[in-house]
Structure 1
Amino acid sequence: MRKLLCAFCQSRWTALLLTGIAAGTAGMLIALMLHEIQHLAFGYSQRSLIGGPPFLQGVSEASALRRVAALTIAGIIAGWGWWLLARYAKKRLSVSAAVSDIRQPMPAATTLCHAMLQVVTVAMGSPLGRESAPREVGALFAGGIARRCGLSEADIKLVIACGAGAGLAAVYNVPLAGAIFTLEVLLVTFRWDAVIAAIITSAVAAFIASLVLGNERQYLFSAPAAPVSLIVWAALAGPVFGYAASLFRRMSRQARGSVKSNWQMPLFCFVAFTCLGLLSIWFPQLPGNGRGPVQLSFGGDVTLPLAAILIGLKVFSIWMVLRSGAEGGLLTPGLAIGALLGALLFLLVGAFFPGSSIGEFALTGGAAFLASSMQMPLTAIVLLMEFTGMDFSFFVPLSLCVAGAYMTCRYVEG
């Protein structure tokens, strides 16, 4: 009996290790592919896949015609790609559905094509996030590995969830946030065996991806310590971000719920992405998942009119592409909206909170909006920590703002 138990445990941990390697490799390849397509679409930094000019700079330096052309082509690819996938491929199974019911595995061809479409369209300027693709691919590989190892249903569920979190950890180099996401969002448990499994898998995946992608942080945030005034503001502003996040969640649900897999999808995607391309002539900050606006907010490089306009146009562009049938994540887009809203509030009321800066307001607001819009408060705090390398003193204002926003969002949604 003891030998059988040891063999069982060994196979489970072997499955988790293989899942971490597979998710890390997939995340690395997805990031490389995304960078290459970005460079080709907007014609910048062709000699370097990693590093070099940021995406916002590449879009800004591209001609108006190239911006419109890239996004129009992205709309054609999105519309026909997802229409063909919905019409002819096996029904797609989401990561949460795969974790909830492990009796039905994720269809490999459908999942890989769905992930590929997300990578291509996000790289070409879709305003949605890139994090869904590595999560789906990581969960797909994890399910296959777990079943081949002959694990129990409970362990298959654990490995699939860990694979999805490891994909997130790999593509963003956030091993701790990937593990917390697995526990908080997918498994909804903090059992010790699940905690250890999630940490090991995400750490392995992040390490594998970092061998090629490096260990650079996603955002530059240089504030040394959080002032007391930021703590006061965070406690007061939390409900504002929570209410805004509830509106954003309602909008995104309604947009996705209105999609029809018929002739409308190619047409609507073409119109939505072309409109985004035209808007990018005047606002190059709009294409992409929102990383550029987040960095502008953290660096204090936005004015009051620009912040207000970008919030409105960012929400509008996300609604357009979701309503048209395009797919992608809402993690970085949510962070961008929250950071811009935090910067906007600083420009309006920052004088009443001496010692604080626009970047600190943006950081706090981004975490609060992300936590509420994605319903993952712990993951949001840890994610911002790993994204920015922020000083430990920011945990207090971030926690207060996230708690107020999360509770407000839950209250509004009933």
Structure 2
Amino acid sequence: MRARLQSLPYGWRLLLATITLGIGTGLVGIACHYLLEGVQWLAFGQDGSDLLQQFKQAGGLRRFLILSVAGILAAGVWYVLQRRYKILSIRSQIDLVGDKEPALLAHILHASMQVAIVGAGASVGKEAAPREVGALIAGRLGKILSLTIKERRVLIACGAGAGLAAVYQVPFASSLFVFETLGVSYRWKNFVLVLSSTYLAAWVSQPIVGHGAIYHMSLVHWSASSFFQAVIVALLVTPLALAFRFLASRASRKRRKDETILWALPLAFLVLGSLVAFFPIFMGNGQVLAQALLSSQSIPYLPLALAVKGLLVYLLLRNGAYGGTLTPSFALGIGSGYLVTLLLTAVGIHLDPALGMLLGATVFLGTTLKAPLTAIALSLGFTGQTWSLTIPLVLAAGLSYVIRKRWEKKR
């Protein structure tokens, strides 16, 4: 069978790899969706669209116990995996094509554990898992079909973007992510590969994952004053996003992988469990916090709540957990943009809090992902907004980009 595939013309092999990748990654998105919902149902009972209500109904003791058990299981799984295998990031998979192949089952278990702990309430994002499995599938397809090293690297990046598109139903933003964050060159051939795989993955997973916006939010409109708001939000939120990115990067670089993970990670989950036993708003990857703000729910001591949420992400990643920072970044950006708008209101400048939240999310995501265009598309896609909001978001993202670049030069 493999010999027959390799006998096909190169163009047909590349097309077959792209189509298979899109379909396969779409199925990965479905699997991640069912795994997340299954863990949440087992852990907290009745399934529902309101996650915060589901967590509250479970009770404080149950939330504490679930996270405590999750910490012990996660520590054991990652300790064993990392003793026997080298866990390769997406960047490593791209760089090491042809030299080192990631262990298939080990990486699938690694990704599954990431989704499982998010379902249990851990403060990390779920998006890293489908991206990593998508990249894994792409690497195997490229090898089986004897594609060139250059094409295999592009295909792995496509797999990562397709994984993101499948779980969040944001194929356009995911395509931008491949070019901006993963550094794929802007060539027509690459555009075709990226767009085909991401849109196909989103289409395959759509019947199960759903195609509606992740966050419920009324349509937001902008006016001339929005440009002033965009500038202020960019100036004040970008330093916060830089601080979070520094902490998250440091945590990932210094992540515990030796035997100390066996006590440090359960202890980190114990801290999280003790906190969410009384304050369920801190449960999960940030979706609960972001939705509460977008729904105009009151959150006492919001500045402290945002600082604690960011530190919880650092605590888990530093002590051995794996996971994404995209969703936590979005939640922190929503909260930061809202706080800036309240600050302006306090000095007599009344602006739209909803637009402030979207501006904050765009600035925060653009800074942490180092991808301003992706951040704009994600903010609009996550909240179901129209593309008419692009103009103020572009201003905020552009100014934030300039600030970030100047800060990086001074380091």
Q: Would the TM-score normalized by the shorter structure come out above 0.5?
A: yes
- Deviation string 1:317-358 (CA, Å, 9 cap, x unpaired) is 112111211010000001111111111122221366866322
Aligned pairs for 1:204-219 (under 5 A) are 204-219=200-215
Aligned pairs for 1:259-298 (under 5 A) are 259-298=255-294
Q: CA deviation at 1:230?
A: 2.1
Q: CA deviation at 1:133?
A: 0.3
Q: CA deviation at 1:282?
A: 2.5
Structure-1-length-normalised TM-score: 0.93
2:223 alignment partner AA: P
Q: Contact 2:25 / 2:162 at 8 angstroms: preserved in 1?
A: yes
- Deviation string 1:345-403 (CA, Å, 9 cap, x unpaired) is 22221366866322211111011101101111111111112112213331111111111
3-state DSSP class of the match of 1:197?
helix
- Deviation string 1:168-215 (CA, Å, 9 cap, x unpaired) is 000101111111111221133221111111111001000000122221
3-state DSSP class of the match of 1:177?
helix
1:35 equivalenced with 2:31 (yes/no): no
1:329 alignment partner AA: G
Number of the residue aligned with 2:18: 16
1:251 equivalenced with 2:251 (yes/no): no
- Deviation string 1:256-305 (CA, Å, 9 cap, x unpaired) is 333332332121111111111111123211111101111122222234x4
Q: Contact 1:300 / 1:358 at 8 angstroms: preserved in 2?
A: no
Number of the residue aligned with 1:62: 58
Once residues 239 and 354 of structure 1 are traced to their aligned partners in structure 2, the CA distance between those partners, rounded to angstroms, is 16
Q: Which of 161, 167, 174 is the matching residue for 1:178?
A: 174
Q: How many residues align?
A: 403
User: More displaced, 355-364 or 119-128?
Assistant: 355-364
Number of the residue aligned with 2:92: 97
Q: Contact 1:343 / 1:362 at 8 angstroms: preserved in 2?
A: yes
Q: Contact 1:227 / 1:356 at 8 angstroms: preserved in 2?
A: no
- Deviation string 1:77-123 (CA, Å, 9 cap, x unpaired) is 121111111112x2111111112231122221221111011011111
3-state DSSP class of the match of 2:162?
helix
Q: Which of 160, 164, 189 is the matching residue for 1:164?
A: 160
- Deviation string 1:8-55 (CA, Å, 9 cap, x unpaired) is 11110111000000000011111111011011111222xxxxxx3332
Once residues 90 and 245 of structure 2 are traced to their aligned partners in structure 1, the CA distance between those partners, rounded to angstroms, is 19
Q: Contact 2:341 / 2:353 at 8 angstroms: preserved in 1?
A: yes
Q: CA RMSD in A?
A: 1.8
Once residues 298 and 227 of structure 1 are traced to their aligned partners in structure 2, the CA distance between those partners, rounded to angstroms, is 20
Q: CA deviation at 1:225?
A: 1.4
Number of the residue aligned with 1:74: 70
Number of the residue aligned with 2:341: 346
Q: Which of 201, 213, 222 is the matching residue for 2:197?
A: 201
Q: CA deviation at 1:412?
A: 1.6
1:65 alignment partner AA: L
Once residues 18 and 54 of structure 1 are traced to their aligned partners in structure 2, the CA distance between those partners, rounded to angstroms, is 35
1:148 equivalenced with 2:144 (yes/no): yes
Once residues 279 and 155 of structure 1 are traced to their aligned partners in structure 2, the CA distance between those partners, rounded to angstroms, is 47
Cα pair distance change 1:355/1:14, threshold 3 Å: farther
2:200 alignment partner AA: V
Once residues 352 and 298 of structure 1 are traced to their aligned partners in structure 2, the CA distance between those partners, rounded to angstroms, is 23
User: More displaced, 74-83 or 252-261?
Assistant: 252-261
Percentage of pairs with the same residue: 32
Q: Contact 2:44 / 2:58 at 8 angstroms: preserved in 1?
A: yes
Aligned pairs for 1:201-240 (under 5 A) are 201-240=197-236
What are structure 2's unaligned runs of at least 5 residues? 1-5
Q: CA deviation at 1:152?
A: 1.2
Structure-2-length-normalised TM-score: 0.94
3-state DSSP class of the match of 1:186?
coil
1:396 equivalenced with 2:391 (yes/no): yes
- Deviation string 1:219-256 (CA, Å, 9 cap, x unpaired) is 11213411322221112221322211111122122223
1:106 equivalenced with 2:102 (yes/no): yes
1:335 alignment partner AA: F
Once residues 348 and 109 of structure 2 are traced to their aligned partners in structure 1, the CA distance between those partners, rounded to angstroms, is 49
3-state DSSP class of the match of 2:252?
helix
1:359 equivalenced with 2:334 (yes/no): no
Once residues 353 and 57 of structure 1 are traced to their aligned partners in structure 2, the CA distance between those partners, rounded to angstroms, is 35
